[in-house]
Amino acid sequence: MMCFQCGKRKARIEGLCEPCFLESQPPLFIRNLKLARCRECDALYYGSWRDISLEEVIKEHVSLEDFDYRAEQHDMVITVSVVARQWFHEKQTHAFVQQTQFTIHLKPSLCNQCSRMLSGYYQAVLQVRRQHHTLTEEERALIDSIVVSSLREKDFISRVKERKEGTDFYFSTSRAASRAAHILKKQLGGVVRESYAIVGMDRQKGVDIKRGTILFSLHRYKPGDMVLCQNEVFEVVGSSQKLHLRNGHSEKVVPWKKVEYLENQNQLKTLSSSQYTMRDCQIIDVTPSQVLVMLPDFETRYMKRPKDIKVKVGNWYRILFFQEYAYWM
């Protein structure tokens, strides 16, 4: 049977020869595209705001099995030339090459994420404090770096407010704020308290919008503090997982529950720097029961010889004077 179109070649596909069959196929057509692009983060709106490259959008949009393309951008207009190798019928002996062009118009816009960030949107506030103290500059800087590195890809902090007593971080999501608080707790020790209030309704998702206040407080004890614990003075050397105390004779590692108990029994308290004096003193003489120390002002003083410390004449020791007692630190 001959092709009913041209009558010259043998019919092969649906009563037509292959060239006539391919001729009868619709031309390649790809519709033009308008794409919003976030001017802050370059996200593209393709179905939704996506962190996707222009190349990926073109591939998804053209959506053909076998094709090449070339894109030329002039300002906000991209012209895409497409060459496709098409198979319309299983009896085709070779691919049919079709060409077309389409344009992509880019429209500067602001994605949801960035517009929220810029408008100061937040779902939760993380308040970082230290019990009974204000945060020092070093503590603020350390906390800031821990908080920032806790952020996952889509999270953001829309505002940071430095207050006299500590820092407030305004988080895009409660989950991100809570995560940051628990990472702080793990690294620095302290207490996390979370509270949430329903402030509205997300109509799209049909769920309550909650606003969270998350308080992370560092324990009041910080390295370098002097404390009076069960009638002995110690220096705080660590305060993360447990309270770690040390003086010249001994060391104590106290769990936080025990710390609370001792505080309630009035057996543990922080000494303010005006309550004690710390001196580097040189040993002038050692007797079986006493040592003679020289204070920095060249005043000398006899003191009870410490039990657990080897004192040597000529060496320097750190001694803390509190009330009528001296403590070897």
**Residues 136-165 interacting with Zn ion (rule: CB under 5 A):** none
Does residue number 199 form part of the binding site for Zn ion (CB under 5 A)?
Answer: no
Q: How far is the CB of 122 from Zn ion (least distance, A)?
A: 17
Residue (5 or 158) nearer to Zn ion, CB: 5
Of 57, 50, 152, the residue nearest 111 (C-alpha): 50
Measured CA distances, 249 to 225, 230, 311 (Å): 17, 14, 12
Residue range at the interface with Zn ion (CB under 5 A); choices 19-27, 135-143, 188-196, 243-251: 19-27
Does residue number 135 form part of the binding site for Zn ion (CB under 5 A)?
Answer: no
Q: How far is the CB of 43 from Zn ion (least distance, A)?
A: 5
Of 177, 53, 90, the residue nearest 127 (C-alpha): 177
Count residues near Zn ion (CB under 5 A): 11
**Residues 90-129 interacting with Zn ion (rule: CB under 5 A):** 111, 114
Residue (41 or 313) nearer to Zn ion, CB: 41
Measured CA distances, 210 to 152, 184, 187, 193 (Å): 20, 23, 27, 16
- Out of 20, 22, 319, 320, the only residue in the binding site for Zn ion (CB under 5 A) is 20
Measured CA distances, 259 to 236, 243, 275, 282, 283 (Å): 13, 8, 21, 34, 35
Residue range at the interface with Zn ion (CB under 5 A); choices 1-9, 56-64, 166-174, 209-217: 1-9
* DSSP states of 59-116: HHHH--SSEEEEEEEETTEEEEEEEEEE---TT-SSPEEEEEEEEEEEEEE--HHHHH
Q: How far is the CB of 261 from Zn ion (least distance, A)?
A: 52
The tokens describing 164, both together, are 């006299």
- Out of 25, 41, 81, 255, the only residue in the binding site for Zn ion (CB under 5 A) is 41
Q: Which amino acid is at 215?
A: L
Residue (8 or 186) nearer to Zn ion, CB: 8
Residue with tokens 């940051």: 180
Does residue number 13 form part of the binding site for Zn ion (CB under 5 A)?
Answer: no
φ, ψ of residue 91 to 5 degrees: the values are -90, 0
- Out of 6, 141, 309, 313, the only residue in the binding site for Zn ion (CB under 5 A) is 6
Residue with tokens 């429209």: 107
- Out of 22, 28, 30, 38, the only residue in the binding site for Zn ion (CB under 5 A) is 38
Q: How far is the CB of 217 from Zn ion (least distance, A)?
A: 34
Measured over the CA atoms of residue 241, residue 242, residue 243 and residue 245, the dihedral's sign is negative
Residue (7 or 223) nearer to Zn ion, CB: 7
The secondary element (H helix, E strand) that includes residue 273 is none
Residue (121 or 322) nearer to Zn ion, CB: 121
Residue (3 or 78) nearer to Zn ion, CB: 3
Let me know: does 234 contact 245? Beta carbons within 8 Å. yes
Does residue number 184 form part of the binding site for Zn ion (CB under 5 A)?
Answer: no
Does residue number 44 form part of the binding site for Zn ion (CB under 5 A)?
Answer: no
- Out of 12, 13, 17, 135, the only residue in the binding site for Zn ion (CB under 5 A) is 17
Q: How far is the CB of 9 from Zn ion (least distance, A)?
A: 5
- Out of 5, 103, 109, 158, the only residue in the binding site for Zn ion (CB under 5 A) is 5
- Out of 35, 40, 79, 321, the only residue in the binding site for Zn ion (CB under 5 A) is 40
Q: How far is the CB of 107 from Zn ion (least distance, A)?
A: 13
Residue with tokens 């062009």: 101
Which residues, at least 6 apart from 194, have a Cβ–Cβ distance to it below 8 Å? 178, 181, 212, 213, 214, 215
Which residues, at least 6 apart from 311, have a Cβ–Cβ distance to it below 8 Å? 283, 286, 291, 305, 317
Binding positions for Zn ion, rule: CB under 5 A: 3, 5-6, 17, 20, 38, 40-41, 43, 111, 114
